[in-house]
Amino acid sequence: MATPKIDIPASPNTVKVSIIDTTTRMSSIGAGPFFTPPIKGYEKMSNSPSYSFLIQHTASGTTRSLLFDLGLRKDWRNLPPVLVGAIDAMGWEMEIEKDVSDILTQGGVDPNTIEAIIWSHYHMDHIGDSSRFGPSTAVMFGPGVKESLLPGYPANPGAFLLESDYAGREAVELDFSSDSTGPKKWRTLQIGGFRAIDVFEDGSFYLLDSPGHAIGHICGLARISSGSGGGGEANKDVFLLMAGDSFHHGGVIRPSLYLPIPDDKTVDYKGVSCPCTLFKSVLPHGDETRPFFEPTITGTEAHSFHHDSKEALRTIEKLQKFDAQDNVFVVAAHDGTILDTVDLFPAQVNAALIRAWDEKVRWRFLADFAEAAGQPASR
């Protein structure tokens, strides 16, 4: 099938993006509450990272810096008691060496220069510890968060957020429904079926309303290179899409109608080295144009970590169109397959290498199905 159109408006403006390894590592997390059906040998997610993204926009000699997500806070046992108790009860293993504020400082970026921290959503492994940033740093989040989740702990003993996550700083809830939100106006538009906000009002960085996994879930779309306008493959703009928790495994978004399992690619990851075609036998439904998994249904007897699984599925279907583009690099928040391939902070994303990165990592997730495919693997 032809590559689908997503209609990102043309713009000569770009941002610089750095992918930050927050040092978060999460293990022993059951896959069932996130996606289904189960596949033999892949019952738990292990050693999952959590990324943060530094977005830097320069105009008229002035640089504005944003962060998209913060990973887990180092002192995670100081999270609201309802969360700490749930982590212990589920047997999740949480490791983290540094807060993002410390990583920035070590990389030569003053945390006090960050204009705003954008939460893809309110879950603990994304919002970090904003109290480590100065009061001039705002926090921004998607629709419905204020009404559904505030106030935080301890004002609300059962809250999932801490009051310190937002107190003493501007807290901005994004409004994708019109051209105004909070104290300023935003330019809103549609991109690839998503409602979008043009953050810097010049086409360099968008936020996409991507509901389903959590209340107020959003994605980020950064234009990191702008073509010369001469046409042709070499002059395409290059984008990085920060997918947050829109999907928790490559098998939730791939294969797709636009990206069937390739006949000419090899998996080389986690000790697995074999043709991608061998994993076609693992497809639960036998359809090479449908993903291995779907979001676990909300409200069923099997517990689901999705706020609205139907919306989550619609978001995934939209993201598949972005994923099919050869000039859009889609990064899910916990995708460990990219760690040894991409340039990490303090380096900036190299737009010239995006396609090479994508080619290398896109089908790596298949290695998780080695046992089901009858392939030996070292883990």
| Residue 230 confidence (pLDDT) | 44
Residue 229 has pLDDT above 80, yes or no: no
Give mean pLDDT, residues 247-252: 98
Which SS3 state, helix, strand or coil, does residue 160 take?
A: coil
Give percent above pLDDT 70 in the chain: 94
pLDDT band per the 50, 70, 90 thresholds, residue 2: confident
Contacts 24+ apart (CB under 8 A), 79-86: 79/124, 79/162, 80/152, 80/153, 80/158, 80/159, 80/160, 80/161, 80/162, 81/153, 81/157, 82/153, 82/157, 82/158, 82/159, 82/160, 83/124, 83/160
Cβ within 8 Å of residue 147, ≥6 positions away: none
Say which range, 38-52, 85-99, 167-181, 253-267, has the weakest mean pLDDT: 167-181
Fold for the domain defined by 16-369: Metallo-beta-lactamase; Chain A (3.60.15)
Domain boundaries, the chain: 16-369
| Helix, strand, coil percentages, rounded to 5, for the chain | 25, 25, 50
More confident call, 102 vs 301: 102
User: Taking Cα atoms as reference points, which of 57, 47, 105 lies closest to residue 270?
Assistant: 47
More confident call, 302 vs 217: 217
Give mean pLDDT, residues 74-82: 97
Tell me the pLDDT tens digit for each residue of 101-113: 999 999 999 999 9
pTM of the model: 0.95
pLDDT band per the 50, 70, 90 thresholds, residue 375: confident
| Residue 377 confidence (pLDDT) | 64
Strand 138-141, strand 114-118: pairing: parallel
Give mean pLDDT, residues 19-26: 98
Tell me the pLDDT tens digit for each residue of 308-350: 999 999 999 999 999 999 999 999 999 999 999 999 999 999 9
| Residue 177 confidence (pLDDT) | 87
Which residue is associated with the tokens 């002035």? 62
| Residue 235 confidence (pLDDT) | 60
Alpha helices in the chain (DSSP H): 81-90, 100-106, 124-127, 145-149, 309-323, 354-361
Residue 358 has pLDDT above 60, yes or no: yes
| Residue 236 confidence (pLDDT) | 85
Tell me the pLDDT tens digit for each residue of 231-243: 445 468 999 999 9
